[in-house]
Structure 1
Amino acid sequence: MHNRKPPDWWQYSTSCWQQLVELLNQLQPDTAGHCANQTNWQLLRQGDTNSNYKLSLTFQDYFVQLADQAKVDQLPGGHYRSQARLASENPALSKWLPKCLLDNEEIRVSIWLYASPTVNQHFNNPDLIIELSRLLSELHHSELSLPELDMNAHLAKYYEISRANKTADPIRSQVLFEQGQKLADYFEASHCCHNDISPGNLLSGHQLFLVDWEYAALSDPLFELAGIIFNFELSELQEQELVEEYQRQSNMLVDKDKLEAMKGLYRIITELWYIGNA
């Protein structure tokens, strides 16, 4: 086995490194050793609970996601779940995900996608709205063994995170938490949801791809829609077109008042997270 000992610059667990090298040696026996060369690693972004890299080797590029064990308690289940492979093995969802090669509580490796993050302007394209609505419909009607998102507990966790920041305004956190508690009454954990559809997680290439599944849970489809509206800063027209197409594709009626409540709830949770991690 080559390079079982992590290089000096490696900041994650030894187990994580060994799993990666073992996988690469199986896929590319003559090139896996090159993963020890730091120049082959490109940091893409720091996620809420992970670090994401493009690893470029001789014959193949890979997406490598490494969990930040110090932040995994912020996830709905309180731990990093290996859910990308679970979703990729579902026949209805597999076409929307990159091929997953390794997925556990420490590390995720998949084939690199030549796709770009979606942005607000993409929602001016009716074809994207149709494709995204089809993806959402298939996801929300799928049957995955996901944890149920307890919104009251989830909200309380983010409130705790915000209060842990001693430089933040505790009154602001309290106000947000109390507002969120009222809106959480509208939330129903009824369908499989991704819960974090944002520009970095919804990728556009020859089709749409959905990545980063660690927030996936039984959740509320309108909370999912609210997250898209918030994360992509959709205009009223863009929102209207998305909601109408989603209703058509999913055969699910969108309660406009409830959607407004979910938009407020999503904004509050996001703000509490930013307060805690400022």
Structure 2
Amino acid sequence: MGTTSGSKALRQTLPQPDPALIAMLTALPDFPWPLAACRLREIPGGEINRCFRLEVAEQTLLLKWLSAQQRVPLDRAAQFALQQQLARHGMAAEPVYLSACQQIWLEQWCEVQTFADQDPDKLSLLATALGQIHGLTINTPALDLVAHWHCYLKHLPATEQQIFLPAIATCEAVWAQADKSVLCHHDLSFGHVLKAPAGVILDWEYAALSNRYFDLASCAAINQLSDADAQQLAANYASATGIRREDIQAGMEQMQPLVQLTNALWYAANRDKTG
């Protein structure tokens, strides 16, 4: 009796899930469990998508409620297949379900431990993680960065579109000549590199075959690295990969305008979502 009463009390204290999410899950013909058996608790954070802890049938899963209003055409099925491959390499949680509408995603729950922001080895950790990602042999589509730019552009007023067009033309020529043969994360913030489980990296949503120096420059921008820290990231990456530091720095400098353009377009296109 005590256990049952305690479970009821716990359920009553949990915030009620969004009715729109419940309606969506109810409408899915192949959702793995009856909703009456599921306990959902929202995890704070996320600018575009929403995440929930799902407890059901003596297991815990991460449920991602993916926005239907993405500003770029992300292929969730390709992302699911990519993460399955990454899970086999021990670098991502195992995905277990993707709805036909590609808005409900389930993966194995991981109790994660991040490194402290003040960790003196954080630049080395980022460089090592990037080197490991870039060294993987993965079957996945290549990043069509130019198409992403134009997708973002469509969501801007005509007058604002004109501001970006010269930079797009210049950067498009650079991207056309760039090597795009290695797996890249494209969103490797310091918080995505985990202390535990060791080797696991979070949030592969934008991963694709791409240019390693674009990924490095993106990493520097996402983590708001100073020029000195960006140079140290390049030095650490050189040590991790055996690529000459001078070549890495030159590649990052070449890709920096493309990263700046991508970030500016992303924020402009998502202003209504991020505030």
TM range (shorter): 0.7 to 0.9
Q: Deviations over 1:185-236 (max 9, x none)?
A: 3332221112222356444435353222232211111111111111111123
> d(CA) in 1 for partners of 2:230 and 2:254?
15
Indicate the residue corresponding to 1:43 in structure 2: 43
- Say yes or no: does 1:136 pair with 2:125: no
Q: Give the letter aligned to residue 111 of structure 1.
A: Q
Q: 1:158 aligns with which of 140, 152, 158?
A: 152
1:210-225 to 2 correspondences below 5 Å: 210-225=201-216
Q: Give the letter aligned to residue 100 of structure 1.
A: P
Q: 1:101 aligns with which of 96, 101, 104?
A: 96
1:190-201 to 2 correspondences below 5 Å: 190-198=181-189, 201=192
Task: Return 5+ residue gaps in structure 2 as ranges.
Answer: 1-16
Q: Give the letter aligned to residue 108 of structure 1.
A: W
> d(CA) in 2 for partners of 1:16 and 1:193?
35
Q: How many percent of aligned residue pairs carry the same amino acid?
A: 21
Q: Give the letter aligned to residue 207 of structure 1.
A: A
Q: 1:9 aligns with which of 10, 13, 19?
A: 19
- Say yes or no: does 1:245 pair with 2:244: no
1:1-278 to 2 correspondences below 5 Å: 9-11=19-21, 13-14=24-25, 17-20=28-31, 22=32, 24=33, 33-35=36-38, 37=39, 40-48=40-48, 50-57=49-56, 59-71=58-70, 74-75=72-73, 78-90=74-86, 94-103=89-98, 105-116=102-113, 121-122=117-118, 124-126=119-121, 128-163=122-157, 170-171=159-160, 173-187=161-175, 188=178, 189-198=180-189, 201-253=192-244, 254-278=247-271
Distance 1:261 1:118, change over 3 A: farther
Structure number, greater radius of gyration: 2
> Alignment partner of 2:156: what SS?
helix
> d(CA) in 2 for partners of 1:110 and 1:203?
17
> Alignment partner of 1:46: what SS?
coil
> d(CA) in 1 for partners of 2:240 and 2:50?
34
Deviant stretches of 4+, over 6 Å: none
TM-score, normalised to structure 2's length?
0.74
Indicate the residue corresponding to 2:13 in structure 1: none
Q: Give the letter aligned to residue 45 of structure 1.
A: G
When the two chains are superposed, the root-mean-square deviation of aligned CA atoms in Å is 3.1
CA contact (8 A) 1:162 1:277 kept: no
Distance 1:262 1:61, change over 3 A: same
Distance 1:64 1:8, change over 3 A: closer
CA contact (8 A) 1:84 1:213 kept: no
Cα drift, residue 74 of structure 1: 0.7
TM-score, normalised to structure 1's length?
0.73
